Structures are given as C-alpha cells and as structure tokens.
Structure 1
Amino acid sequence: MPAGQAAAAGTTPGQIVARIERMPGNAMHVRARLLIGLATFFDGFDVIVIAATLPLLIAQWSLSPAQVAFLIGAPAFGQLLGTLLFPALAERIGRLRTIGWSAGIIGLMSIACGFSTSFEMFAALRIIQGLGLGGELPVAATYINEVTRAHGRGRFVLLYEVVFPIGLLVSNAVGAWLVPRFGWEIMYFIGGVPLVLLFILPRAVPESPRWLAERGRLAEADAALAVFEARAKGPLPPLDGERDYDALMQKHPRRSVKDLLGRAYRGRTLAVWMLWATCGFIQYGLSTWLPTIYKTVYHAPLQLALNLAAAASVLGVLGSLACAMLVDKVGRKPVINVSFLLCALSLGLAGVFHDSSLYVVATFCALAMGLLASGFITAYVYTPELYPTSIRATACGFGGAWLKLGAIVAPTFVAGTIGSGKIDHAFLALALVPLLTAVVVHRLGIETKGKVLEQLEA
C-alpha cells in the first residue's frame, strides 16, 4: 500500500505503528525537533535564569535567606501543577496544542517578570510561569518518542533533548555576560521568545499519529503520518508486521492512571519517580545555588561566580551529548546507573574537600552537574518507553511532578546549610540521593533499548 494512501476504513492501529517503524528520520522529523526543541531550549533557559539574576535580586530587594529559597523554589509550585495538568490535557486534546499553550505561558510570564517591581510580584509571576515550565517537557518528550521508530530512538530523542542542558548553558553563559552590563531584566525579556510557538507550532508540525490512532481517529493518523512520509528520501520499504502489531495491541487492555501503581507497572513507576525526584533535588538544590554559594561561602566576585556556574553547564551539555551517543549501544539503565553513581561520588568529594580552594569545590560540582545531566536527559527517553500510549503523557507528567517536589524541597534544604555554615553537610546529603536512586533503578527498572513502544507494554 503506497505511503499515506490507505483509505480510512482500511487503516488499522497496527498499520500506523508499522509505518512509523519503517520510516527513517526525515525533514519533518527535523522540523519537529527544531520547533519543539525551541520550547524545550527556553524551558531550560527560564528554569535556570534565576541563578544568574539572583545575586542582583538579593541586593535590589534586600532578600533574606528564606526569601531567596522561596524565590528559587516558587516556580516549582506552578510546575508541580503544570506537570499534572498539561499531560492530562495532552491525552485529551493532543500533544502539539498542549505544547503550544505551555510554551505561550512560559514566554508571556517571562516578559512580565522583566517588568516586576517587587519580590512579591516577581514570585507570583514565576509561579504562573511554572505552569508552562512544568507542562512542556513531559509532553514534548512524549511526542518526540511517539513519532520515532525503535531503531536509534534513544539517540534521536536525546539529540533533541540535549537542547534542555544547552538552554541551561546558554542561560548561564549569556547571564554571565549580560547581567553585569544590562541588569537582571534583560534575561527575562529574552526568555519571552517561546510565546511565538503558541501560534505557529500546531500549523507547522503534524499531530502524533500514535496518539490519533489510539483515540480511534485513524483517518487523521493516516494523514498526519503521510506528512512525515512525504518528506522521506527515496522509496519507503514495504510494510512489515502490521498484523503482529494489531494482535499485540489487542492483547493488552487500555490502561488508565490507576495502572501506574498496579501490578503490571508498579516497579517501573517507583523507579521512574525516584529518578525524576533525584534530578529535581540535585538540579535545583545545587545548580541554582552555585553562583550564590561561590559568592557568599567562598567570597568569589560576582563575575567569577557566574563564570564558574557557566562552566558547570558546559559539562552538562558534554555529558548529555556523550549519553546520546551511548544510550542505544549500552542501554538506558547502565547510563542512568553509572551517571548517578559517579555524580554521588563527585558530590561526596565536594563535601570532603569543602574547605579547600574555590576551584577544587567548583571542579567537583561541575563534574557532578555533568554526570547528573547524563542521567537526567536519559529520563526523557526512558520514561515514555515504559508506558502505553493511553497513559504515556500522564505517566511522564507524574514523573515530572516528582521532579518538582524535589525542586521545592532542595532549595530550602541548601539554604539552611548555608545559613548554618555547614556546606559540607549539604554536599554529603545531596550525594546520598543519586546513590540510592541508582540502586532502585537497577533493581526495579527494565531495559528498553531497541524495542518498539508497543512491545514494551506490560
């Protein structure tokens, strides 16, 4: 049957899956990755922008340590709601419309933050912005996984996801250059760019064919997939295995949210929740505090503190790129476990040598952030692979909720240790978290590399 020419009545869910699995990466995949990647890039940019602007905000509004901790953690309250609301919305109205709305909230609230005149106003806007920040990542990861075939899926998805740590890097690097020269507001005006995606994304990229097929909208799934197939170079190979996929999909019942903790998925879910909680705890408990730690604990000048934090982001990008090259060869679980074990070691060494020079501590922190990034980015390909299409976005959202819970707890914890002068306690406590998670993922997680998503259903 020629690509995209199946009559709606003759199209089956298994045929949609078979067509996805025979389709190599093409120009439409690239367009989707670039446009959705823009949203994910600015998700990372806006998440970490507080690190570069915080020293000036502390001085401008005379913030107490408790206020600083709240300012860092405030967006996580919105993100916690957004990471549950938007994935649920994506199951109902589609992946692309949901990504567009979340990107619009990110951009609009970032611009509004640039006009803030008080701590209270700024914190409120960041909470609202958190709705979009929390909702974009899990739905975007779901979409990219669903339009990608099993062969090379890890590399394809992670080369898209690497834009998140690149966003962290650019935010730190641009902030280190712009903030001392133009003030903190400029960073939030730049962060308004995702607003344009609200208007162009659903018109420029097709909806997920897997989601459409799962909803019974087979004619639309056929048409969406035909847009991808039209951009493929050369003739596509004959369809293979569509009857097997239909039989496989009929074998498994349609899942609901309660199945996340049911017998079939309980182990996977606990491993995923630990994985995401760890990423949130370390990311927000360390990276957002790094410039302030370097400036207040080690008395580094502002420019040096910002530069050292930016250097840690460089290792985050390098770690993510290395992960993308390895994840389809060695598997998801080994990458996560090794990355987290070495991250724990680096944080432990930062605690042991906390009274050494600034550069020794900064080196261990940079290594920890680079290793965390490797495990963190793998979560974006690993989590969607573990669940069926009917609950995939929702499952990613619940994982993201644990990320936000970690983000809420960690800044207050680090603030307390800085205030008491026990920064070594902070590093050592942070080290225990990825260590424990590596054990849980090893024991409860399953390996997913090279398998069609429908083959991974329990």
Structure 2
Amino acid sequence: MTTADSAGQSAAAARSGPLTRGNIVARIERMPGNAMHIRARLLIGLATFFDGFDVIAIAATLPLLIAQWSLTPGQIGVLIAAPSVGQLVGALLFPGLAERFGRLRSIGWSAGIIGLMSIACGFAPSFEIFLLLRIVQGLGLGGELPVAATYINEVTRAHGRGRFVLLYEVVFPIGLMVSNGVGAWLVPHYGWEVMYFIGGVPLVLFFILRRVIPESPRWLAEKGRLEEADAALRAFEARAKDPLPPPVNAGSYDRMTQHPRRRVRDLVSKAYLGRTLAVWMLWATCGFIQYGLSTWLPTVYKTVYHAPLQLALNLAAGASVLGVVGSLVCAMIVDKVGRKPVINVSFLLCALSLVLAGVFHASNVYVVATFCALAMGFLASGFITAYVYTPELYPTSVRAMGCGLGGAWLKLAAIFAPGLIASTIGSGNLSVAFFALSVVPALAAVTVHFLGIETKGRVLEELEV
C-alpha cells in the first residue's frame, strides 16, 4: 500500500463517512478543545487584544493631546467620534470580505491596518494628520472584532461554546485594561506617542496568520469546498490529545444545512428580524456607553474634579479592571444560565450604577469613579457576551455580516455619543449625563428579553431557520 493510499484511508477513517457538510459539522461537534484551538485563540486573540488597546488608547493620551494642540471641546468630540466613521465602514467591509474570501484573510488584512496606522499615529505632526490616521485605522478596528468572533464560534462545538468563546473574547477588556494601565504608567513619563508605537504589534499578524492556523471548516464547507474543509478540520483533529470518537448525527446535520442559502437582506426578513433588532440594540448600547463615557472619564476626573493627571488615569484604569473581572465571571456562568440572562442582568446593573453616579455626582471623585467603574464592569459583562451570542443567531452564509452589522450599530452609536454627552459632561453637568446614559442599557435589556432567543448548548446549524 502506498503512502498516499494510507493517508487516504486515514482521512476517510477520520471522517467516518461521505464528505458532506453534515460530516464536517459532526466532526467539529465531537472534537474537544485542543492545542490548535489554543493557537487560534492566542493569535486571533492578539489582534483582538490590540483592538481593545488601540480603541481606548485615546482616553489615556487625550489630556496630553489637548494640551499639545490646544484642542477645543468641539475638536475633542470630533477626535473621539470621527475614527468611528472608519470603524463603521470597516464593520461593513471586512465581514463582507470574510464571506467572500475567508475569515482568516479578513482578520489578517484588518490587523495589518490596525498596526500600520497605529505606528503612523505616533509620528503624526498635527491634529489634522492624527485625526485622518485614526479614521483610516478605524477600518481595521471596526472589521477585526466581528470576523474574529465569527471564526472562533465556527471552529468550536456547541458543548461549552460560551465559555470557550468568552475566554478568548476576554482579551478585549484585557486590552482595555492594559491600555489604561500602560497609559497611566508610560504616558506621563514618555509622552503620548509611545502608546501608538506599542499598538503597532498587530501588523505581524498580516504576515503569519494564514500560515499557522487553518481556515474555518464551516465556512469552507458552506462554500462547497469540502476537500479544503476536510484538510482544515484535520489540522485541528491532528492536535487532539486522545483518539476521537466516530462522528455522529451527520445525517441530521446534513438535513439542518438544507435551508435556503441566506443573503444579507434575510437578516431583516420575518425569520430573523427579532434577532436582528435585539442584536442591533445590544451593540448600539455598548457603543453608546463605551464611547460616550469611558473615553471621557480621565478628562472628567481631571477637569471637573481637578484630579492630577496620574490620579485621573489610575481611576480610569481601575474601571477597566472591573471589566475584566466581569468578563471572566460571565465566561464561567454563560453556559449554565444562558446568554440572555447574563446580558439582561448585566445591563440592568449597569443602568443602576449610572443612576447612582448621577445621584452622587456632587460627591468627591472617588465616589463617582466607583460607580463609573461598576457601570463599565457590568457593561463589559454584557458586551463580551454579545460576541458569543451574535454569531450564534445567524447561519454560516451571513454570520460574519450579521456580526458586522451589529458592529456597525456600535460604531454609529460611537459617532454620536461623544457629541451628545459633550454638552453635559464637558460642561460639568454630570447628573443629566449619567441619567441619560442609564436609560440606554435599560432599554437594551428589555429589547433582548422580548426579541432575543436563547442559544446555549445548541449546535449552530440547529439555530438556522
């Protein structure tokens, strides 16, 4: 028997049946996490980490940028909001590329833009050039997260998917935390430029990502590229610690994949409209609070409460620590209690924290910072759950675009939130700002409760309609 014959028999044994989409799904569902999953989670997590790092870097550097370029309140609002225009375009562009060219190509391209533009920002000689570079960088920032979430969901089996995905996604709030922490340590000593030089690391992924981890077998199978899907899946199977059991229910999964191939317009069809409205409200809330509040916090602490720069940065960093803690707690419980309860409780507690911040806004900076930190921690808990919940709601043919459109609503909210909040927070009228902010997560909790579906423990193909 030749080596080729032996390899062919081994491949046939691995798939235990004809090579179909159902067989690919069945093999994914029998496979526990292994070293290849960890490699994928680490490398794609690196892009997501620096996505979080670069998004929040502006908060750590903004006080110095204001002083260096004598920025007006209007320019500050534009600087915070304008990059979201690029992120809005990226959230629509890169998921579309992911549907056509593959998940890894899209992630690699977006990571390259993030890294290259971050380095360029460090050399920006003026406010106008810096603003333009941040807008271009936004293309990558907007495109990376939804496609990365799509990929990680697609290579993971239903059992324990919430925990697996969220332990990957926790790198985003860790990126926020590290950005705040590193900014509080480096910016006062080495200047604002250092943050953007560090943010250039994702450029490496542009060159190596597709060489070291396989493409999504689910996406390849959906495209009819079954031999490539089989090869990609065998790259995962080869790293399994123990012999894999024979795949089961391939016939059932084949029947699940017989639904008509969905188009982008189907996201607002009768079958998916409720899910889509819940997703849009969920992501818009995260964008409104994240950009309407967190980017302002160091400046608020410094200008309204007259805290020294170092203290203002330290207090903002403390808020991001609670975001990481909340995200880790969610990862541990999301497969037990479900996606909807985690999102709804997190958002309601976020709203309550913001109300309390408004009630006690006249207290000292530590009281206000505590309630703001709690609000950001609870927001992070709901936000991170959106990254496992959203891809579960859509079929493979439009999964990346479903996530991208959710991300687009986040960016739309991010564009308008800083300006809406600037007239209140920027003028020191904090109670109105906090009360207004609290309404948004409360509405999101109601929307997800009534329009969302529960997805815990269900195979992705089973959720298609």
Q: Quote the Cα distance in structure 1 between the aligned partners of 2:122 and 2:427.
A: 32
Question: Does 1:296 pair with 2:329?
Answer: no
Instruction: For residue 418 of structure 1, report the CA deviation from its aligned partner.
Output: 2.7
Summarize the alignment of residues 1-400 of structure 1 with structure 2, pairs less than 5 Å apart: 10-250=18-258, 252-400=259-407
For residues 130 and 4 of structure 1, the distance between their equivalents in structure 2, rounded to whole angstroms, comes to 45
Please state how far the C-alpha of 1:421 moved relative to its aligned partner: 3.0
CA distance in structure 2 between the aligned counterparts of 1:368 and 1:186, rounded to whole angstroms = 29
CA deviation string 1:229-278 (max 9, x = no partner): 0000111011100011001211x111001111100000000000000000
Q: Judge conservation of contact 1:4–1:225 (CA < 8 Å) in 2.
A: no
User: Using a 3 Å threshold, how does the CA distance of structure 1 residues 372 and 283 change in structure 2: closer, same or farther?
Assistant: same
* TM superposition score normalised by structure 1: 0.98
- 2:357 maps to a residue whose letter is A
Write the distance in 2 (CA, Å) between the matches of 1:2 and 1:64: 67
With over 3 angstroms needed to count, the CA separation of the structure-2 counterparts of 1:7 and 1:358, relative to structure 1, is: closer
Q: How many Å apart are 1:5 and its aligned residue?
A: 5.3
**C-alpha distance in structure 2 between counterparts of 1:69 and 1:234, whole Å:** 55
Deviates further, 2-11 or 202-211: 2-11
Cα offset, 1:2, TM superposition: 5.0
| Residues 279-299 of structure 1 deviation map (CA, whole Å, 9 limit, x = unaligned) | 000000111110001001111
Query: Matched residue of 2:32: which SS?
Result: coil
1:4 shift after superposition: 6.4
Mapped to 2, the partners of 1:311 and 1:419 lie a distance apart of 22
1:400-425 C-alpha deviation (Å, 9 max, x unpaired): 00000111111111211134331111
- Does the 8 Å contact 1:104/1:197 carry over to 2? yes
Once the two structures are superposed, residues 413-457 of structure 1 have per-residue CA deviations (whole angstroms, 9 ceiling, x without a partner) of 121113433111110000000000100000000000000000001
Measured in 2, the distance between the counterparts of 1:447 and 1:109 equals: 39
Distance 1:221 1:124 in 2: 40
Q: How many residues align?
A: 457
SS of equivalent to 2:221: helix
Is the Cα–Cα contact under 8 Å of residues 4 and 229 in structure 1 kept in the other structure?
Answer: no
Q: What is the match of residue 3 of structure 2?
A: none
On the 8 A contact 2:16/2:246 being kept in 1, the answer is: no
* Partner AA of 2:309 in structure 1: L
- 2-structure distance, mates of 1:161, 1:419: 32
- Classify the secondary structure of the residue corresponding to 2:202: helix
Name structure 1 gaps, 5 residues minimum.
none
For residues 193 and 74 of structure 1, what CA distance do their matches in structure 2 show?
Answer: 23
Q: Is the 8 Å Cα contact of residues 40 and 136 (structure 1) preserved in structure 2?
A: yes
Contact 2:162-2:331 within 8 A present in 1 as well? yes
Structure-1 separation of matches of 2:357 and 2:23: 53
Distance 1:30 1:235 in 2: 18
* Cα displacement (A) at 1:301: 0.4
Cα distance in 2 for residues equivalent to 1:17 and 1:257: 23
CA RMSD of aligned residues (A): 1.2
Runs of 4+ in 1 over 2 A off after TM superposition: 1-10, 418-421
> TM-score, normalising length from structure 2?
0.97
Kept in 2: contact 1:4–1:222 (CA 8 A) = no
Bigger mean CA offset, 418-427 vs 386-395: 418-427
